[in-house]
């Protein structure tokens, strides 16, 4: 039996029309911050700002890492802790310069 494209299971990960995605929520939050934030801090802030949404630490962490992979957020490591911040305008305009090794 082949499931139809309208099956409820296929729509479980899609956002509702007009509802912001996790990526939008996370990048919007980080862009308003002056200091890098941990995934727990981002989760707590989103839980407070959007009580109607079920916010999970794993989802926020994955969204943050996805943002790092796509150049939307930056990862900062301090010992065993990991913090995230929004990409600055200077970094976003020239990502190749930051990745080139020094000669």
**pTM (two decimals):** 0.71
Please report the domains of the chain, with CATH numbers, ordered by start residue.
22-87 (1.10.10.10)
The C-alpha atoms of residue 20 and residue 4 are separated, in whole angstroms, by 26
The C-alpha atoms of residue 56 and residue 93 are separated, in whole angstroms, by 32
**Burial category of 48 from C-beta neighbours within 10 Å (exposed 0-12, middle 13-18, buried 19 and up):** exposed
pLDDT tens, residue by residue, 9-62: 433 455 677 889 999 999 999 999 999 999 999 999 999 999 999 999 999 999
């Amino acid at each position: 039996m082949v499931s139809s494209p309208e099956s409820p299971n296929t729509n479980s990960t899609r956002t509702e029309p007009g509802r912001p995605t996790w990526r939008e929520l996370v990048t919007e939050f980080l862009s308003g911050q002056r200091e890098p934030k941990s995934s727990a801090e981002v989760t707590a802030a989103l839980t407070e700002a959007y009580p109607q949404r079920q916010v999970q630490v794993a989802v926020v962490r994955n969204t943050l890492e996805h943002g790092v992979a796509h150049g939307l957020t930056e990862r900062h490591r301090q010992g065993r802790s990991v913090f995230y911040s929004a990409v600055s305008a200077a970094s976003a305009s020239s990502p190749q310069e930051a990745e080139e090794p020094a000669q």
